[in-house]
Amino acid sequence: MNALTLFPLLRPMIPSTGHFAVLPSHNALIIIDTSANVRCIKNLIKAVDTGKPYEPEPSGSPTQDHASRAETSPHDGGA
């Protein structure tokens, strides 16, 4: 897939706080944004490039990076 073709299509997905550039000589895109948005765009490009259906990640799903307070707090033992 040509990076110059993808650039105008994907640009609206990058917020004003992010950065998006194309390097035509390397057929590469540079995306600086949240990891979730970069992952989403990467999956979308992969789906377009391979012809496989795009399946977005469920929003708000817990990840292994986050643990509940109960999982990280030691027990008091009562007082």
Please write the tens of the pLDDT for every residue from 18-65. 999 999 999 999 999 999 999 999 988 888 888 877 677 666 544 434
Strand partners, 23: 28
pLDDT score for 25: 95
Strand partners, 29: 22
φ and ψ of 64, to 5 deg: -70, -15
Q: Which of 56, 11, 47, 18 is nearest to 34 (CA)?
A: 18
Q: Which of 37, 46, 36 is nearest to 12 (CA)?
A: 37
Per-residue pLDDT band at 16 (split at 50, 70, 90): very high
Per-residue pLDDT band at 73 (split at 50, 70, 90): very low
pLDDT score for 75: 44
Which amino acid makes up residue 10? L
